[in-house]
Amino acid sequence: MNKTLLLIICDFLLLNLLALTKWEKAEPPRAAQVAAAQQAAAATPAVNADLVELMRISLEDEKSTRTQLAQQLASTQGSLSEREKNLAALQQQKGQLENSLAATQSTAHELEQKYTAAAQEAGLTKEQLAKMQRELEERRAEAERQKQELARMEKQNTEARQRIENLNVAVRVAEQEKQMLASNLTEAKQQVEVERQERARVQEQTVQLAQGVGQLAEKSGELSKEIRDNRPINSNLIFTDFLANRVQTRLTTRRPGLFGPNVKDKDAQTILVSDGRHTYALMHLSDTPFSLTFESPPDYDLIAGKLSRGAFNAPVKELAFLALDPRLVVLPVDDSLAALMGAKIYKLAAEPFKFPEAVVVRADDGKYGETPFRIDAANPGYVKLDNRIVTRLFGEFSPKRGDLVFSKSGDLIGMMVNNDYCAVLGDFRAAHTLTAGDDVVQPKTGATFADLAARWQRLPFKLQ
């Protein structure tokens, strides 16, 4: 609400309050008080004289006050009339303003309707314009495509004319070549006949040449094999090959003793060797718990063992003492177990005496070296190694029993049976065989080892 209008309304209400108040009805009580005072004064003129005077003065003051209030009321009524006029003028202006506002709202509504219609018309015009624009772009694209198609067709037409011209030239050239071919046909037939005869001669020569090449290839293969067989291998390579393919053996024996069973274990390093039919692990008797030096060979009640390589383990099922020398022991190995073991299976040297030197490898301490060897005519199954030469070349290393002896070709010759002689392997026939296993009940083995000891003692002294 307007502040001016609020003041006007407040003044108007105040004036109405003052105008509607009945001041005459408020006077009688005061007059009754005056009459009562006069009666009291008359009754008691002497005592209340001062009080009457005081009341008269008060009455005069009251009259003066009423006169002033009447004047103020007249003034207020005049102001109220003025303000009522102003209020009427303001009400008139308010009506005019309300009429003007209604007219303005009506005009705004009409303008809004016109704006909505104009916006709809403008939106429709934009859609039509966009549609026309799209149609124009499509027509332009179609015109460009037709232009390109026309250019392509013109290019094809030009190429076709060029091809036609080329074909015409080719036809003329072909006619000339046809004439030339017709003239050369006779000469060609003669040349074909000559070439047929020449081809027959060349084919005959080719057959002869192929036969010669086959013979040459066969001789070349034989020559390559002969070169490989006759080429000595470095001893370092032979020893490296041994380290990569050695097999661990462990044999356990038990025999009755005075104070209880006597159990003995023996570990050794060896290799797998084949005689062309079977595979064996080769050992010297000194690498086993057995001995041929007992005066009375014992009876073993348990013989067991295993072969190991890496994480692979295979039980020993049999021990064979070779007829070649009683100190050579072989452990037969199934081909399937040998394949699972993954170690190289050495071959026996086909010509053990081809090279004048041999490579000696000691399995237990990893020493090796080269040494000359000689054939012992009195003992054809053995060769003698030169200890002196090996000692001179390799310091403290000299061959001893149990050492492996390899040919310079890398194949196995045999094993040292003592410090001087090597048994040349070639025959794996067994003089005695023992079955091994934890659950095998051994027969009386004393007789077997007594026979092995007797065979050993019958050997020449230099071979013992």
Could you report the per-residue pLDDT of 309-364, keeping only the tens digit for each? 988 999 999 999 999 999 999 999 998 899 999 899 999 998 888 888 899 998 87
Among 43-57, 149-163, 211-225, 371-385, name the one with the lowest average pLDDT: 43-57
The answer to whether position 84 is within a domain reads no
Cα distance between residue 132 and residue 134, in whole Å:
5
| Residue scoring higher pLDDT (323 or 139) | 323
- pLDDT tens-place string over residues 188-247: 788 888 888 888 888 888 788 778 777 776 776 666 666 566 678 888 899 999 999 999
Q: Are strands 430-435 and 404-407 parallel, antiparallel or unpaired?
A: unpaired
Task: Provide the whole-model pTM.
Answer: 0.51
252 lies in the same domain as 314? yes
Place 87 in a pLDDT band, splitting at 50, 70 and 90. confident
The answer to whether position 5 is within a domain reads no
Average pLDDT over residues 105-127: 75
Residues 6+ apart with CB under 8 A from 245: 271, 272, 343, 344, 346
The answer to whether position 182 is within a domain reads yes
Percentage of residues in the chain having pLDDT higher than 90:
29
pLDDT at 35: 53
pLDDT at 164: 83
244 lies in the same domain as 213? no
Q: How many domains does the chain have?
A: 2
Most confidently modeled range among 25-34, 89-98, 116-125: 89-98
Asked whether residue 33 carries a pLDDT value surpassing 60, the answer given is no
252 lies in the same domain as 267? yes
Average pLDDT over residues 12-30: 65
Cα distance between residue 256 and residue 260, in whole Å:
6
pLDDT at 310: 87
Domain that holds residue 354: 234-463
**462: which DSSP letter?**
G
317 lies in the same domain as 414? yes
Cα distance between residue 184 and residue 197, in whole Å:
20
CATH number at residue 326: 2.40.10
283 lies in the same domain as 415? yes
Q: What is the mean pLDDT of the chain?
A: 81
Indicate the SS3 state at residue 368: strand
Place 427 in a pLDDT band, splitting at 50, 70 and 90. confident
Four-residue CA torsion sign, 53, 56, 58, 64? negative
Q: Are strands 272-274 and 345-347 parallel, antiparallel or unpaired?
A: parallel
The domain boundary residue, chosen from 231, 264, 282? 231
Residue the block writes with tokens 């038990």: 254
304 lies in the same domain as 430? yes
The answer to whether position 416 is within a domain reads yes
- Residues 30-34: contacts with CB under 8 Å, at least 24 apart: 30/59, 30/62, 34/59
pLDDT at 393: 43
